[in-house]
Amino acid sequence: MKNLADVLTEFKQKHPLPGDTTVADIIQKIGQDQDLRDFWQAHQDEMKADAFEVKMMDLFEYIQQKEAKVQGLPSLYPGYQAQLAIQKGYPQVVYQPSEQMQKKLNQKAKLKTYQVPKAIAQADLAQIAEESAQDGDRTPALTATIQVLKELVAGEDHYVPGLYLAGDFGVGKTYLMGALANALAANQIGVLMLHFPSFINNLKATFNKPDQSLEDLMVQAKTVPVLILDDIGADTLTAWSRDDILGVILEYRMQNELTTCFTSNFDLASLEQYLAQTRDGQEPVKAARLMQRIKYLARPVTMAGRNRRLES
């Protein structure tokens, strides 16, 4: 196959065009683009004879996307950059994620959520810190959260306990843990944030029709590097959900020293009372055993403040 300059000359001889036509302008731009010339030179032995005629507009698309980037305009596919590739003897424009988009994709791959509010996707520790400078009620919880983040990001070979974040409705417990989840994922640390009552309810609904996705979620909850169980204590407790679901998850995580966080409207004492009462009556021994696991896995922190849900 000829080099690009020869191909362009041959094309113009084969398809004579007035000098002021759009196609003539396109051909001129293609011929002047150094990246295109270099690409063609590197792959000319792979090009089919009709490669330019068939793919002229693809080559022009590549030039347009380069120009848009220089001018600060959005690309054809926001977050992705045009690149040239050779496929089956023809030049192709392929779109690869930009550095910023790749970071977002990597973060998304590390963060899994289940039945948590959509707003969690935008939760940001820096923003919460800025708000806390004016409203100090959340400062202790924020400080403890940042400390957990620092220890996990440091990656030192020691166990990092999570947080048991207790507080009234609407003070921002879930949002703060969502911000932690986003920060962990941005640092390539795997995290699952799971609304526990919804998980239990959906598991119950699959008793007679097994759901592989929920079974997989159970495995993830046991094994993910960082687990955040949201709204512990908000479901209608049964011995099954306490012993066969929550107990099994926490036992595995305790034995394998995996960081685990909780949010709840109950403090630890109230949670123990809640765990002791099932339809089968009072079972304080089983509740105490489960509390030992929770206390090993997480440090209790109280989150105070006003009910922000009432302000929205």
Rounded Cα–Cα distance for residues 173 and 178 (Å):
9
Task: Please check whether residues 167 and 82 belong to one and the same domain.
Answer: no
Task: Please check whether residues 79 and 112 belong to one and the same domain.
Answer: no
Task: Please check whether residues 167 and 259 belong to one and the same domain.
Answer: yes
Rounded Cα–Cα distance for residues 245 and 72 (Å):
52
Task: Please check whether residues 93 and 110 belong to one and the same domain.
Answer: no
Rounded Cα–Cα distance for residues 215 and 211 (Å):
6
Question: What per-residue confidence (pLDDT) applies to 18?
Answer: 47
Model pTM score: 0.72
Task: Please check whether residues 229 and 108 belong to one and the same domain.
Answer: yes
Token readout for 267 is 């403090």
Task: Write the CB contacts of 295 (distance below 8 Å, at least 6 apart in sequence).
Answer: 268
Task: Please check whether residues 254 and 106 belong to one and the same domain.
Answer: yes
Tokens 């908000």 belong to which residue? 234
| Total number of domains constituting the chain | 2
Question: What per-residue confidence (pLDDT) applies to 13?
Answer: 64
Task: Pick the last residue of a domain from 71, 97, 123.
Answer: 97
Question: What per-residue confidence (pLDDT) applies to 78?
Answer: 84
Task: Pick the last residue of a domain from 97, 131, 146.
Answer: 97
Residue 160 belongs to a domain with what CATH number?
3.40.50.300
Angle at CA of residue 153, ends 152 and 157, nearest 5°:
55
Question: What per-residue confidence (pLDDT) applies to 2?
Answer: 67
Task: Please check whether residues 56 and 106 belong to one and the same domain.
Answer: no
Q: 122: alpha, beta or left, given left = phi > 0 and alpha = psi -120 to 50?
A: alpha
CA distances in angstroms from 180 to 79, 85, 113, 126, 264, listed in the order given: 25, 39, 13, 10, 16
Task: Please check whether residues 140 and 207 belong to one and the same domain.
Answer: yes
Task: Please check whether residues 117 and 165 belong to one and the same domain.
Answer: yes
Rounded Cα–Cα distance for residues 94 and 78 (Å):
13
**Percent of the chain as helix, strand, coil, to the nearest 5:** 55, 15, 25
Domain region containing 28: 4-97
Task: Please check whether residues 59 and 82 belong to one and the same domain.
Answer: yes
Task: Pick the last residue of a domain from 97, 121, 153.
Answer: 97
Question: What per-residue confidence (pLDDT) applies to 210?
Answer: 67
Task: Please check whether residues 81 and 109 belong to one and the same domain.
Answer: no
The kind and range of the H/E element at 288 are helix 284-297
Rounded Cα–Cα distance for residues 134 and 52 (Å):
62
- Name the packing angle between helices 34-43 and 4-14 (round to 10°): 100
CB atoms near residue 32 (< 10 Å): 10
Q: Of 183, 123, 186, which is closest to residue 149 (Cα–Cα)?
A: 183
Give me the residues of the chain with pLDDT under 50, please. Answer: 18
Question: What per-residue confidence (pLDDT) applies to 227?
Answer: 98
* Tens-place pLDDT, residues 148-202: 999 999 988 899 999 999 999 888 999 999 999 999 999 999 999 999 999 998 8
Task: Please check whether residues 46 and 162 belong to one and the same domain.
Answer: no
